[in-house]
Chains A and B, each alone.
Chain A
Amino acid sequence: MDPEGSQNTGDSQRQDLLLEPGYTLATVTDKISSIVLTRGTTKGWMLGFGVSFALLMLFNAAVSYLLIRGVGIWGINIPVGWAFAIVNFVWWIGIGHAGTLISAILLLLHQKWRTSINRFAEAMTIFAVACAGMFPLLHMGRPWLFYYLLPYPNPMWMWPQFRSPLVWDVFAVSTYATVSVLFWFVGLIPDLATLRDRAKNRAAQIIYGFLAMGWRGSAVHWSRYETASLLLAGLATPLVVSVHTVVSFDFSIAIVPGWHSTIFPPYFVAGAIYSGFAMVLTLAIPIRKYYQLDDLITMRHLDTMAKVMLATGMIVAYGYMMETFMAFYSGSTYDRFMIMNRMAGPYRVIYWILIACNIAIPQVLWLKNVRRSPLGLFIISLVVNVGMWLERFVIIVVSLHREYLPSKWDMYYPTRWDWATFVGTIGLFLTLFYLFIRFVPMISIVEVRSLVHETEKEQGS
């Protein structure tokens, strides 16, 4: 299970542990639950929460104005019918994927290193999907008619058009949201019970009690718990691949040069996981520092995640290469022009920044001591987040703005409302996340407990 672990010695071996030695079941529980129960609301938390909440209010403002005036407040036009809204949608939904991957697939593969990060990775997934879910609604010209996309019996005798990927999106995203929430909640139940039992004030007891759904930790409960998580993991696993595949169909089904490509599904999924892990790191590293969780979220975790990023990053790079190669190999005027326009056209700067962010810079992850420096990783993860956002911008806007008929070429410039909406969703995301780390154990007590034995064994040997 751990290729490096065996030949490592002393110092580095200590770093390779998934849990610092000297923890007992009790201390683990104390440490984690205390963050929620005893630590109370800190200034730092208030500050962070305040900022994010302000951004959330900005989002509300932007959306209200959008509903009053129409999508014209954005920079979109003919030919560029999609821009920030869809870019953000794809970006957020992509970020979500890391969570599901960690919690579902790694669970099935018995990757123990997932235990201390899966909880907030899953949380991240849910919040990201929440943000993503907004955009398909908001980008519509008449959002109040969104239900036309749902197949329901109606006096018009009309169905949605099932040939359109947008309809599949509706199903993909909603399924994804549902499963993620269930999975996360089921995993939470034992910990909620723990909080219920440790909570001092009555309100907390009732709320956690209510959420714990009468968990008593009996053998029956545990066995059902295990089965449930396994089942859900099984359900979630295909979603990791399917959701972003469907999203990629929005583009590959169309005939727009730069969209119409069979490579999209795999390369979107890879990209998703890439950005997802970047986001997990972006969140994990500061939290780990702020709440002194270094011995729960060890170097080993960071290192492994960095490796995953490196791997998926390479897949994405391969995607870019293939795209370029195919454009020339196909001999199609339009595709060749599309690539040339990306590299040398009006938006070339953005393209080259994207290449730098997603391909060039992450290469330093080959170096072990970069992978093991939290600061370095943090920066790189941020860079990758930016890069992946730009990738979607290039795919969507730069492909559309100069399409088949030169007479209808035009430029897209984001307006202040475009930015407000984008930043706003980040506000929503962070707000939810702050609430999460304040009121729910951000690391799975149960699963870390299970690590205690392991570490003891390893120490023993």
Chain B
Amino acid sequence: MSSRFRASLLFLGAAALTLAACEREEHHSRSKPIGETVPAGSSPQTIYPGGSVPPALDARAKLFNNNANAISMGQTLYQQMNCVGCHSHGGGGMGPPLMDDQWRYGGRIDQIATTIAEGRPNGMPAWRGKLTEDQIWDLAAYVRSMSGLPSKDAVSSRSESMSGPTPQTLTAKPQPTNSDAAPQ
């Protein structure tokens, strides 16, 4: 992308982003829980045998995908629930890194939420029943932001703790590398 193209996109983007404010800034009423992420025991939705079309993105994704409040809450929960213990600040350790573009079980927000709720083999605990569904989706939104996937105006640049990774507002958005061609 040439710099001039980026510049004109920038100015158009500024206008568009202002108008899209509602989505980014909304505090969705948490009085109504959003319902189950996935029914218990479902399989990961990352394998589409026979070249079939990946399932449509969950309707709840748009409440969380580019929502600054959800991503911020997810950032708080990430600290509080000690995700840092295995994934550190996205760089990985015992658990796989979350800030890269490799998604074993899919990088869409509903797939990440399923991962958190269900747990995964080799050590990812199941948080169903330990966190509410809203909290799981908040975490999923934050995990996506570590790879630079949401729009930049919805993420906060850093947390108020020791600096680790590149500020999220400057994290580049990677090209997807797995076969998951579903809309991010």
Q: Do A and B bind each other?
A: no
